[in-house]
Amino acid sequence: MNSIASAAGAVTSGLGKLASVPGRVHAKVPTWQEIGADPVLMRRVMNVWPPFLFAGIKVLRIEPEFRGATVELRLHALSRNYMGTQFGGSMFSMTDPFWVILLINRLGPGYVVWDKRAEVEYFTPGRTHVRSTFTVSDDLVEEIRDAAAGGERVLRWVHNDIVDLQGTTVATIRREIYVRRTPDAQASGDRAAVVVPPTSDHAEAEAIPAAG
């Protein structure tokens, strides 16, 4: 319980320092977009974010310029399932936001990026801590930029393995990622990448057409 209380205190203290503004009684909590511009800050905040913290998910590293990430799901008394192994749902959750976060930052302003669908295949029970590594290559970024240059909807499948401490593949997650340029970016013709995420909201997600 001491570790949970300590982590909860870290959330309050960390976000309070980030958001404090002299002369204000109520500090503004920073948005994910503000946090997400810095890979080191993003990793630190995600590690005290309750959905990850209480599931035993730890972000070990987010690469400079958001070129990749490594995430670990720890196996302990509070995270084991009925059979004493890793929860399948927790393994799925540990991979959930990273392709979108990395691509948003690699592509830069003027792009909308969302998850569209996902698949998971389990191969063997997770009996140890497990890890997954994400890599967003320059080739993938350039290919998506070229495909989206005319304002078209771009759908790309990406995948990553979840492995145990012995290097055995426990599961593979596949995700279909939706990318589209914003109308303003398309009109300007600017395709330069700057490591700052876009400020679009979920209204854009509701407008995503069905795949066909």
Assessment of whether the complete model's pTM goes beyond 0.95: no
What's the CA angle centered on 25, arms 22 and 29, to 5 degrees? 80
Q: Which residues pair with 51 in a beta bridge?
A: none
Residues 199, 18, 42, 87, CA torsion sign? negative
The first and second tokens of residue 33, run together, are 């977009």
CATH 3.10.129.10 fits 33-206, yes or no: yes
Written as tens digits, the pLDDT of the chain (212 aa) is 444 444 445 444 544 544 444 544 455 667 767 776 789 999 999 999 998 998 999 999 999 999 999 999 999 887 889 999 999 999 999 999 999 999 999 998 899 999 999 999 999 999 999 999 999 999 999 999 999 998 999 999 999 999 999 999 999 999 999 999 987 766 666 544 333 333 333 333 333 333 33
Burial class (CB in 10 A: 0-12, 13-18, 19+), 193: middle
Domain spans, the chain: 1-30, 33-206
Q: How many CB atoms lie within 10 A of CB 121?
A: 10
